[in-house]
Chain A
Amino acid sequence: MPLAEQLLDASLWASVTRALIPVLLAAIGGMICERAGVFQISLEGMMLVGAFGAVAMAHVSGSATIGSAAAVMAAVLLSLILAFGAVSRDGNPIVLGIAINILALGITSFLLPQLFGVRGTFQPEGGVRIPRLLLPGLSELPFLGPVLFSLSFLGYVALVLVPLTWFVLFRTPVGLRLRGVGERPMAAETLGVSTNTYKYLAVIASGALTGLAGAQLALGNVGVFAENMSSGRGWIAVVAVLLGRAHPVGVLGACLLFGFAEAFGFRLQGQGLAVQITDAVPFVVTLIALVLARKRFTRLLDLSETKI
């Protein structure tokens, strides 16, 4: 197929949305934390425990819904470490986030043989999946149907969250206070807004959403858990928050870019390019985007306050 035709191919864009959903869910969580002034880089780890919790409980219960709920629980539990360490104890969120990511990798790799007696990959017989919801009528539209209206329930959740978080952040008292807390905690405190409460809620929200991201990742297509299966998506979500300046529309844009890169890389694979090279495409695209959007991240350039 010529390139132009490929770019308008509905199946390409359908795989863009599929690649996009988990990253978008995690990135929205990261965005809420960023707005509350907590630098959240443990998305990768939370996504991983979410995926594990989802597969484990879906296997035990036979229900994707229970699996997804378990994913949320597991990731929220992990997020509480960050909330406690970084908010209550004023620890460094970057160092904590890294430790949480390592912890997540360790604990899932530990539990896999411990609970299910397998290593590397766990694919339960008759694996439970989150079914796709074909929206009546809409899913039959040409192009838009397969791209936007044949998603899993969590897919719709992710897409609806974009306008919803915008509305909450910029039009409601809770959103105003959350932004205030993130920007000038002292000022918010003197007006009687408890910064810790808002930060805790933001971190927990990011845990819940990133847990869902893990569920979508594990149960969206095949119902399988593989060691380290988040494979950088959580980090891409972190970058999406930065690139999108913690604004819902910007974050969606950044996630779209990543989703497109992944789908396109996958497509290139089909045309004979080595999988080892196409795997790198999303990361290379992300790096290029970082360079193009530079000067936005001055806050992260000087980490001289970074102490454990």
Chain B
Amino acid sequence: MTPELELRGITKEFPGVRACDGIDLTVKAGEIHCIVGENGAGKTTLMSILYGLLQPDAGHIVIGGRHTSIHSPLEAIDLGIGMVHQAFKLFPTLTVAENVVFRQEPSRRGVIDRRGASRRVRELADAYGLSVDPDAVVEELPVGVLQRVEILKALYRQASVLILDEPTAVLTPQERDRFFEVIRRLRDSGRTILFITHKLAEVMAVADSITVLRQGRSVAELDPAETTPEEISRHMTGRDVSPVRRGRTHTPGKVVLSVETLEVEGFHGLTAVDGVSLEVRAGEVVGIAAVAGNGQSELVEAIAGLRPVVAGTIHIGDQKVTHADVARRRRAGLSYIPEDRHRVGTVAAASISKNLMMGYQRSAQLRRGRWLSLAAVERHARQLCEHYSIKTHSVDAAAASLSGGNLQRIVVAREMSHDSPLLIAEQPTRGVDIGAIQFIHTQILDARDHGRGVLLISAELNEIQALSSRILVMFEGRIVAELDPDTVDEADIGLHMTGGAKVGA
């Protein structure tokens, strides 16, 4: 039988921040225990400690009444703890079965028993309703399936405690419901589930008990039968949060972006964008809702000039830029907050001022004659840091020294300050704290109110709904619906996102 699990006074400090500050947590055997909190509340750090990835500075772990210390994931696995990370830890070129049995391969005389491995994986998958083909190569599978592979890995290692870190982030509403079925079935088989999330609806749907974390402390233990989302939210934030609202209605102005029957190739030369046409006008936010991998990234990259166009046309303002280089698109009026701020949006090794000057390096503002004025570069960086509340001791510090939220502010500051007619914001708030989220939302709505056209791509449906003037739904490379954010609900959007409402598309 699965033992009870207790964490007592767990404390973990990183230079400059106390991620966990004496967290207590009691998890009863065989329950679904939700751990909720904002980004940065210490959820992932706490779970990394439980899984042996990090060592606590203080506090201890008690499993089934016995004090335990866990020094590595291996020890955690031996104790029956499995973890599904938010960023999957799978080997792309190996098969599902190879991923699952890795390091515990069934073998005969030193040779891997590949058929046996496949059979075991299929049996496990069938037992819990996790349909996967054991012989499929992982890199060819959609994200939803990858998650099942991760769960199978834990089950194969006989995990009795399963940690799921933000597991629904990659799922559509429909996939999510199926996923909830799976974890209920796992609970009913006697396993304990630790479910980390910040989505309150999910908590209410599956939790047997709830622990709320805030700023590295456990601030409440709640019974879902006796609480409300509002109460949880209050505990999470310590205050009542009023989400940013779309605000005034407006009349869109002239067209700042027009895309016609665009065709773009994606991974492996497959058609990723398949005849998309859309327009963005000054003074409106056009939201694109899509499940990851339905062509929205390729669409944005094609508009931004980072991916070649196979067919169709792109106009920014009144200039045709279908095959133009990035510099020309930027001159035509493009600014762009990319999805991957670490790799694309910033350079970790360069100073903050050098990060902030990209795109300005040829402007007279930063130059004296032919040469860059180092004083002007610094002044420019200081101004932006102040105006966009970027916290740093020096603009000469490397961008690597910034937190995720501050790093995103760098990108937002730079792209917003260009004052260009078209702004593309791709997953602008992914993984940043709630303060930064509100700030970025306000900036986007401000940009709209100042007559800029915004193309917003987000996996967060509530973000799409809160900010968009119109919602376009993309599915398998096509735009399958245009929806009015005031009249649709999440389930509707979700249905379109999975191709469930193809009528009229």
User: Are A and B close enough to touch in the complex, i.e. CB under 8 Å?
Assistant: yes
A172 to B101 CA separation, bound complex (whole angstroms): 12
Tell whether, in the assembled complex, residue A171 and residue B73 are in contact, meaning their CB atoms are under 8 Å apart. no
Residues in A neighbouring B89, C-beta threshold 8 A: 184, 186-187, 190
| A residues lining the B interface (CB < 8 Å) | 171-173, 176-177, 179-180, 183-184, 186-193, 307
Tell whether, in the assembled complex, residue B112 and residue A172 are in contact, meaning their CB atoms are under 8 Å apart. yes
Tell whether, in the assembled complex, residue A184 and residue B103 are in contact, meaning their CB atoms are under 8 Å apart. no
Tell whether, in the assembled complex, residue A180 and residue B102 are in contact, meaning their CB atoms are under 8 Å apart. yes
Residues in A neighbouring B105, C-beta threshold 8 A: 173, 176
Least distance between A308 CB and chain B CB atoms (Å): 13
List residues 135-168 of chain B with CB under 8 A from any CB of chain A: 153
Tell whether, in the assembled complex, residue A189 and residue B73 are in contact, meaning their CB atoms are under 8 Å apart. yes
Residues in A neighbouring B73, C-beta threshold 8 A: 189-192
Residue-wise, chain B 50-76 has the 8 Å CB interface mask toward A (1 for contact) of 010100000000000000000011100
Tell whether, in the assembled complex, residue B92 and residue A192 are in contact, meaning their CB atoms are under 8 Å apart. no
Query: Which of A183, A188, A192 counts the most chain B CB atoms within 10 A?
Result: A192
Task: Report if B107 contacts A (CB, 8 A).
Answer: yes
Interface residues on B, range: 20 to 34
- Of all chain B residues, the one with the shortest Cβ separation from A174 is B110
A189 to B75 CA separation, bound complex (whole angstroms): 12
Task: Report if B356 contacts A (CB, 8 A).
Answer: no
A189 to B85 CA separation, bound complex (whole angstroms): 14
List residues 81-100 of chain B with CB under 8 A from any CB of chain A: 83, 85, 89-94, 98
A172 to B111 CA separation, bound complex (whole angstroms): 5
Residues in A neighbouring B91, C-beta threshold 8 A: 179-180, 183-184, 187-188
Task: Report if B77 contacts A (CB, 8 A).
Answer: yes
- Of all chain A residues, the one with the shortest Cβ separation from B101 is A176
- Contact A193 to B103, CB < 8 A, known contacts A180-B94, A183-B91, A184-B90: yes
Task: Report if B324 contacts A (CB, 8 A).
Answer: no
A187 to B53 CA separation, bound complex (whole angstroms): 12
Least distance between A154 CB and chain B CB atoms (Å): 26
- Contact A192 to B72, CB < 8 A, known contacts A172-B110, A173-B105, A184-B90: yes
Least distance between A9 CB and chain B CB atoms (Å): 41
A194 to B184 CA separation, bound complex (whole angstroms): 34
A184 to B91 CA separation, bound complex (whole angstroms): 6
Residues in B neighbouring A188, C-beta threshold 8 A: 91, 102-103
Tell whether, in the assembled complex, residue A173 and residue B112 are in contact, meaning their CB atoms are under 8 Å apart. yes
- Of all chain A residues, the one with the shortest Cβ separation from B92 is A183
Tell whether, in the assembled complex, residue A176 and residue B94 are in contact, meaning their CB atoms are under 8 Å apart. yes
Contacts beyond the supplied A172-B107, A192-B72: 11 A-B pairs with Cβ under 8 Å: A173-B103, A176-B105, A184-B90, A184-B92, A186-B89, A187-B90, A187-B91, A188-B103, A190-B89, A191-B74, A192-B74
Query: Which of A177, A179, A188, A191 counts the most chain B CB atoms within 10 A?
Result: A191
Residues in B neighbouring A172, C-beta threshold 8 A: 107, 110-112
- Of all chain B residues, the one with the shortest Cβ separation from A167 is B111
What are 11 A-B interface contacts by the 8 Å CB criterion?
A: A171-B112, A180-B102, A183-B91, A184-B91, A186-B89, A187-B90, A188-B102, A190-B53, A191-B153, A192-B72, A193-B103
Contact with B93, one of A183, A189, A191, A192 (Cβ below 8 angstroms): A183
Least distance between B355 CB and chain A CB atoms (Å): 15
Tell whether, in the assembled complex, residue A176 and residue B111 are in contact, meaning their CB atoms are under 8 Å apart. no
- Of all chain B residues, the one with the shortest Cβ separation from A192 is B74
- Of all chain A residues, the one with the shortest Cβ separation from B75 is A192
Query: Which of B73, B91, B94, B111 counts the most chain A CB atoms within 10 A?
Result: B91
